Amino acid sequence: MKAQSKVSMKISQLAKVTNVASKTIRYYEDIGLLPAAYRNDNGYREYGNNDIERLVFIRRCRELQIPLEQIKTLIVVQVDPKSSCQEVDALIEQQLDKVRKTIAELTLLEQTLHTLATSCPNDKVGDCQILKNLQQEKPS
């Protein structure tokens, strides 16, 4: 859905359009990721196209598991579109390294669980090799 050039919506509409919960939107305002919303006469928050774009950007960063502090950095560096994107590149590279480390850890976890799952030919808990293995320290 392409937003019109000038739009005004309440938080529930913004939540629906951006697929971000209203509670999360308020939190992002509280921590400064999203500018404080304009309040109309009855106190309701009003949002526009810039808020939609910012919120979609934040949501996409969170989908990539980029921490909130780094998202703040990415928002700040966008102020000067002519500046170097070296900081952006470094931030994404750091995130990629974290993901690769997590994959390695999960691979090891999978192997360990597979070894446990296939280690017990017994039918009784008293003879269960899985439980006995879990009671031992990990081999170094």
If asked whether residues 3 and 49 sit together in one domain, one would say yes
What domain range includes position 11? 1-63
> What CATH number has the domain bearing residue 13?
1.10.1660.10
Q: Which residues contact 99 (CB under 8 A, 6 or more apart)?
A: 65
Q: Are 36 and 50 in contact (CB under 8 A)?
A: no
What pLDDT, in 10s, does the model give residues 111-124? 999 988 888 887 88
Which tokens go with 33?
A: 């990721």
Over its length of 140 residues, how does the chain's per-residue pLDDT go in tens digits? 444 345 789 999 999 999 999 999 999 999 999 998 888 888 888 999 999 999 999 999 999 999 999 999 999 999 888 888 999 999 999 999 999 999 999 999 999 999 888 888 878 888 888 888 888 877 54
pLDDT value of position 84: 87
* pTM summary value: 0.77
Domains identified in the chain, total number: 2
CA dist., res. 113 & res. 108, Å (int) = 9
Residues 5 and 41 in one domain: yes
